Amino acid sequence: MAYKRIFAIVMDSVGIGEAPDAADFDDVGADTLGHVGAFYAGDLALPNLGKLGLSNIRPDKPIQGVPVANQAIGAFGKMREVSAGKDSMDGHWEMMGLPVRKPLSTFPNGFPEEIIKKLEDFSGRHVIVNKPYSGTDVIHDYGEQQMKTGELIVYTSGDSVLQIAAHEDVISVKELYKICEYARSLVNGPEWTIGRIIARPYVGPDKDHFTRTANRHDFSLEPIGETDMDRLKAAGLDVIGVGKINDIFSGHGITKGYHNESNMDGMDHVDEVMASDFHGFCFTNLVDFDAMYGHRRNPKGFGQALMDFDQRLTKVLANLKDDDLLMITADHGNDPGYRGTDHTREFVPLLAYSPSMKHANQSLGIRPTFADMGATVLENFGVQGNSEGTSFLSEVSNGETVK
Ligand SMILES: O=P(O)(O)O[C@H]1O[C@H](CO)[C@@H](O)[C@H]1O
Ligand SMILES: [Mn+2]
Ligand SMILES: [Mn+2]
């Protein structure tokens, strides 16, 4: 067996430059890592990502502050998305061999009256807003009203999402989840197929002090086919989901899941899983980059979150065993230097490392689909996949072959 354990960490929304089809998304020029680096003007210290080969991915345009490593310890490249959307679900599903080629429903003018009416009838609550909005702005602008009336703040974005915000003291988290579950049942196709219903509970005394809580919960569309995680699980391997992974795959193909309160809590879980004995795949999502800084167009916070993550990698790299493989990537971009508040269509970085890897400092090139990642995991464990993706296992291998 090549590796006994594979760890993949998704830095949610940490893109590395406009994708070839960025124009189709009106995202020309988006460059999440590039613009965060430029904002820090040389002070973005990412020593671990740097030595893995982060700037080696594009040596002609290195991330400012992150020098191109002379001899990167990892293998490095970038991946392109083939899915029709640029949301987390599309990105993660594609990584696991299930690209979403048919666009899911989006609602630039708000949700149809029929959906809203059903939500109101079910909940006994009036719906307000019903249009694309930034989630922090929407509670700033409507949260006080919501507290007085007990209405549901329903909003969307450029993604296929229906989000419902409510103050935790006014609508209990339990009730909000029930409403979201009902909303989920309305939009599983064929007329409307929405990627995610997201519960957005918040707390705080007034509009200048509202904050969203870790009780956020994503009710995703059930995967519309088998994923590589299902295949791994069926083969008897451990499949551990850390953070939003469980939500994104509706629990499918997961043998154990951890809920994250934050990126740092997520990295605590990674440490915990690393210290445990398992055989299989650990898939981690760190969502703060996206939810707290990308959508908020906050390059300073984004950079700090990257530096905090990088620091946590010191321990991870030190604890990796010879039969462990680490992969670090992202699910889409969310350039805090770009207009709007939506995700951005970008390449995502791909870094791979094992202390026993035969060839360090190796380019994995431009991968034509995120599915290459799942294909690599499957090949490692000798599990049959579908035709999506091409494994790069031989490029990151430790020389041992699959039994
Ligand atoms: O503005 P907030 O509520 O963070 O919402 C964002 O979060 C969703 C999921 O990433 C995106 O589709 C966008 O709407
Ligand atoms: Mn995401
Ligand atoms: Mn997002």
pLDDT for the residue 22: 98
Of 19, 130, 136, whose CA–CA distance to 80 is shortest? Answer: 19
How many angstroms does the Cα of residue 259 sit away from the middle of ligand 3? 17
Measured in Å, residue 295 CA sits from the centre of ligand 3 at 7
Do 344 and 158 touch, CB atoms closer than 8 A? no
Query: For residues 104 and 246, what is the distance between their CA atoms, to the nearest angstrom?
Result: 20
Give the pLDDT score at 146: 98
pLDDT tens column, 93-152: 999 999 999 999 999 999 999 999 999 999 999 999 999 999 999 999 999 999 999 999
Say which ligand is closest to the CA of 292: 1
State the Cα angle at 388 between 376 and 323, rounded to 5°. 10
CB of 250 sitting under 6 A from ligand 1: no
Ligand 1 neighbour 260 (Cβ under 6 A): no
How many angstroms is it from 331 CA to the middle of ligand 2? 5
Q: How many CB atoms lie within 10 A of CB 102?
A: 10
pLDDT of residue 249 exceeding 70: yes
Q: Is 12 in the pocket of ligand 1 (CB under 6 A)?
A: no
Cα separation of 285 and 267, whole Å? Answer: 10
56 lines ligand 1 (CB under 6 A): no
Q: So where are the chain's domains?
A: 5-101+222-396, 113-219
pLDDT digits (tens, 9 = 90+) for 274-294: 999 999 999 999 999 999 999
**In CATH terms, is domain 113-219 a member of 3.30.70.1250?**
yes
Protein residue with its CA nearest to atom 2 in ligand 1: 135
In terms of CATH architecture, what is 5-101+222-396?
3-Layer(aba) Sandwich (3.40)
Rounded to the nearest whole angstrom, what is the distance from the C-alpha of residue 213 to the centroid of ligand 2? 18
| pLDDT confidence of residue 399 | 80
295 lines ligand 1 (CB under 6 A): yes
pLDDT, tens digit, for every residue of 79-96?
Answer: 999 999 999 999 999 999
Q: Which of 86, 295, 341 to mutate to test the pocket of ligand 1 (most atoms within 8 A of CB)?
A: 295
Give the pLDDT confidence of 302-319 residue by residue, as tens digits: 999 999 999 999 999 999
Q: Parallel, antiparallel, or unpaired for β 75-79 and 362-367?
A: parallel
Task: Judge whether residue 402 has pLDDT over 90.
Answer: no
- Are both 5-101+222-396 and 113-219 of the same fold? no
Question: Using one digit for the tens of pLDDT, what is the confidence trace for 60-79?
Answer: 999 999 999 999 999 999 99
- Nearest ligand (C-alpha, residue 244): 2
Best probe residue, ligand 1, of 13, 86, 161, 287 (max atoms within 8 Å of C-beta): 161
Q: Does the CB atom of residue 106 touch ligand 1 within 6 A?
A: no
Nearest atom, ligand 1, residue 290 CA = 10
Q: What is the pLDDT of residue 51?
A: 98
Buried-state track 47-68, b at ≥16 Cβ within 10 A, e below 16? ebbbbbbbbbbbeeebbbbbeb
Predicted confidence at residue 347, as pLDDT, reads 99
291 close to ligand 1 (CB < 6 Angstrom): yes
Q: Over the stretch 353-400, which tens digit does the pLDDT of each residue have?
A: 999 999 899 999 999 999 999 999 999 999 999 999 999 999 999 887
**According to the model, what pLDDT value does residue 1 have?**
54
For the chain, give the longest Cα–Cα distance. 64
Mean pLDDT across the chain, nearest whole number? 97
Give the model confidence (pLDDT) of 140-168 as tens digits.
999 999 999 999 999 999 999 999 999 99
CB of 85 shorter than 6 A to ligand 1: no
403 pLDDT higher than 80:
no
Which contacts qualify for 386-392: CB closer than 8 Å, 24 or more apart? 386/97, 386/226, 388/94, 388/97, 388/98, 388/99, 389/97, 392/75, 392/77, 392/352, 392/364, 392/367
Pick the more confident residue, 401 or 15.
15
pLDDT in tens, 7-64: 999 999 999 999 999 999 999 999 999 999 999 999 999 999 999 999 999 999 999 9
The pLDDT > 70 percentage for the chain reads 99
Taking the C-alpha atoms of residue 294 and residue 303, their distance in angstroms, rounded to an integer, is 10
User: Ligand nearest 12 Cα, by number?
Assistant: 2
Asked whether 159 lines ligand 1 (CB < 6 A), one says: yes
Provide the annotated binding site for Mn(2+): 12, 290, 295, 331-332, 343
Task: List C-alpha distances in Å: 105 to 102, 112, 163, 218, 220.
Answer: 10, 12, 14, 17, 13
Please say if the pLDDT value at position 328 is more than 60.
yes
Most informative mutation of 156, 159, 194, 220 for ligand 1 (most atoms within 8 A of CB):
159
Give the pLDDT score at 401: 62
pLDDT at 17: 98
Provide the residue count of the chain.
403
